[in-house]
Structure 1
Amino acid sequence: MANRIKPFSITRLPGFTAIAMTAFAILYVPIFTLVIYSFNGSQSVAIWGGFSLEWYAVAWQNTQVQEATIRSLIIAASAAVIATTVATMAALGTTRTAQFKGQTLIYVMINQPLMVPEIVTAVALLIVFAVIKVATGYTGLAYLILAHSAFCVPFAYLPIRARLEGMDLSLEVAAADLYANRWQTFRRVTLPLALPGIIAGSMLAFVISLDDVIITEFVKSAGQDTLPTYMLGQLRRVVTPEVNAISTALLGLTILLLTAFFLLTRTRD
C-alpha cells in the first residue's frame, strides 16, 4: 500500500517547539514574576521578603487608588455603552443591507483606530478637545468618556458584525412575512440572536477602555487620573510592591472579562 502523504503542518518543522516555548516565556514570565512579587513582604520590588498580603491591604486602603479605580470603572462602563450602541448600529447598517457603493470605505473608516498608531488618535483628540475646553470652559470627565468611546468603537464592532454575518436571514424574512414591522423584527428576532455578540463587544470595549493609558494621558485634565495612569505616575516616583498588587488585581479582572468574551464568541445557535 502506498504511503499516504501527510498534510503540511507547521508544528512539524524543525525548531518549532523551541521557538514556541521561547515566545511563551518572553510573553508570560514577566507577568508571572509580577504576580509572584505582588505577594512580597519586602518594600523592595527586587528582593523577596517572604509571602505577605500587606500590599494588597495598602492598595485597598489607599484613597488615591480608590478614587482612580472608581473613575476608571465609570469611564470604562460609559465608554462601553456608547461604543457598543454605535457599533451595533454600524454593524446593522453594514450587514443587514444589500451591497452598496462605498461599503468598503465605511469598513475602513470604522476600523481606522485599529490601523493608526494610538498616539496619533490621542494627539488628534487632544487638539479637538483643547479647542472645546477653551470655548466652553468645561473640563469634566465627558472628554475622557468620549475619547475612550471613539477609540473602542471598532473593538466592539468586530464581534457584533461577526455575529450578525453568521445569523440566518431567513428568520428575519419570516418575521416580515408574518407582518412584523422593522422595529418588531429587530426587537424580537435580530436583537436576541445578536445579543451574545453585543455583550462580547461591550466587554471587549470595557477592557480596552479600562486598560488605556496613551489616550487618557493626552486627554485628561488635572485630578482625573485613572488606575493605569495613577500606576504610571507611581512608577516615576518610588516603586513599591503596591504597584504590583494593583497590577495583579487589574490583570485578574482583565483575564476574567476576556474569558467571558471568549466563551460568548463561541456561542452557537
Structure 2
Amino acid sequence: MSGRRPFLLFTAVAFGYAFLYLPIITLMIYSFNDSRLVTVWGGFSTRWYVELFRNEQILSALWLSVRIAAMNATFAVVLGTLAALTLVRFTQFRTRMLFAGMVTAPLVMPEVILGLSALLMFVSLEQLIGWPEGRGMTTITIAHITFTTAYVAVVVQSRLSQLDGSLEEAAMDLGARPWKVFLVIILPIISPALIAGWLLGFTLSMDDLVIASFVSGPGSTTLPMVVYSSVRLGVSPQVNALATLIVVVVSTGVIIAGWLLHRQQRRHTGKPR
C-alpha cells in the first residue's frame, strides 16, 4: 500500500501541472501556425509575430498597460508597506480593527463594485473640483492602486510579523535613529516581500479588465480590453503571438528575480555560492 503512494502522488502532481500549463504550451505552439484558424495547423510560420509588431492598436495598448502597471505597483508598494507597518507596530490604537478592515476590504470586494464605486468617485470629484478631467490613464492608475495596495499590505505584513524585534532594539541601543534602523536593517530584510508585492501589483494591473473598463475613456484602452474585444469576434493568431511574448517575458523576469533573491539569501546566511 505504501508503495502505491508515491505513484499516486506523482500522478496527481503530473495531472495538476498538465492541467495548468498544457493550454499555455498549446497556445505558444499555435502562435507559430501559418493558418488564420487557431485550431487548424497550417505549417510553421512567424507571420503573426510580424503582423503583431505592425498592429499599432495592440502596441499602444501594451505600452499604456505597462506604464499603468509600473506606476501602480510602485505606489502600491509604498502605501502597502506603510499600512503593514501601522498594523504590525501599532497594535493598541482605538480604530485598528476598522483600519485593518478598510485595508483588506478590496481583497474580498467584487471588482464590479470596486470599478463602479471608483467611477462614481471620479465623476463626483470632477463636478466638485474639476479633477480628474475625464477618464484616462490617471483614473485607471488610481483605481488600480486602491485594490492592489491591499495585496501588497498582506504580503509585507506577513513578513514584518516574523521579524525579530531584538535586531531593532540592539541597533537603537547602539545609537541608531528609527529612520536609520528602518533603512539599514528592516528594509533589506523585507526586500523580498517588497519585490514580491511589486511583481504582484504589476501582474494584477496588467491582468485587470473589469475595473479598467469602468474608469477608462476614449484613447485609454488597455491591453486586456483590446484582447477581450478582439476575442469576442474570434480568436486571432496575433493574440496567440502576443500571449507567447508575454509568457516569455514574465517567465524570464521571474527566473531573474528568483536568482537574485536566492543569491541574496546565500549572502546573508554566509554560505558559499
1:223 and 2:216 correspond: no
The question of 1:154 aligning with 2:150 is answered: yes
Question: Given the alignment, which residue of 207, 218, 228 partners 1:211?
Answer: 207
Contact 2:112 2:211 in 1 (8 A): yes
> Alpha carbons of 1:99 and 1:71: their partners in 2 closer, same or farther (altered >3 Å)?
same
**Aligned counterparts of 1:159 and 1:257: Cα–Cα separation in 2:** 19
**Which residue of structure 2 aligns with residue 145 of structure 1?**
141
Inter-partner Cα distance in structure 2 for 1:27 and 1:196: 26
Deviation at 1:224, TM superposition (A): 0.8
- 2:30 pairs, out of 37, 46, 67, with 37
Please tell me whether the aligned partners of residues 61 and 221 of structure 2 are also in contact (alpha carbons under 8 angstroms): yes
> Match of 1:52, SS?
coil
Gaps of 5+ in 1: 1-5
Match of 2:99 in 1: 106
Deviations 1:43-94 (A, max 9, x none): 1112111111111121122111221111011100000011100001011111
Amino acid in the other structure paired with 2:125: I
1:62 to 38, 55, 62: 55
Amino acid across the alignment from 1:194:
I
Structure 1 vs Structure 2 CA RMSD: 2.7
In 1, the alpha carbon distance for the partners of 2:254 and 2:179 equals 32
Alignment counterpart, residue 232 of structure 2, candidates 226, 230, 236: 236
Letter in 1 for 2:153: Y
Q: CA deviation at 1:139?
A: 3.1
Q: The residue matched to 1:51 in structure 2 has which SS?
A: coil
Quote the sequence identity (%): 34
Select the residue among 29, 40, 43 that pairs with 1:50: 43
2:136 and 2:218 in contact (8 A); partners too: no
Is this contact kept in 1: 2:31–2:237, CA < 8 A? yes
Cα offset, 1:254, TM superposition:
3.5
How many residues align? The count is: 260
Residue number in structure 1 paired with 2:86? 93
Partner of 1:194: 190
User: More helix by proportion, 1 or 2?
Assistant: 2
Note the alpha carbon deviations across 1:102-124, whole angstroms, 9 max, x for none.
Answer: 54443332121111222221121
Structure 1's 14 and 249: CA in aligned 2 closer, same or farther, altered over 3 A?
closer
Alignment partner of 1:81 is 2:74 = yes
Structure 2: unaligned runs, 5 residues or longer: 269-273
Contact 1:160 1:201 survives alignment (8 Å): yes
Which residue is 1:3 aligned to? none
| TM-score, normalised relative to structure 1 | 0.85
Which deviates more, 55-64 or 92-101? 92-101
| 8 Å Cα contact 1:76/1:207 also seen in 2 | yes
Query: Which residue of the other structure, out of 176, 183, 186, is the alignment partner of 1:180?
Result: 176
In the alignment, is the contact (CA less than 8 A) between 1:81 and 1:202 conserved in 2?
yes
Amino acid at match of 1:175: A
Q: 1:130 aligns with which of 94, 117, 123?
A: 123
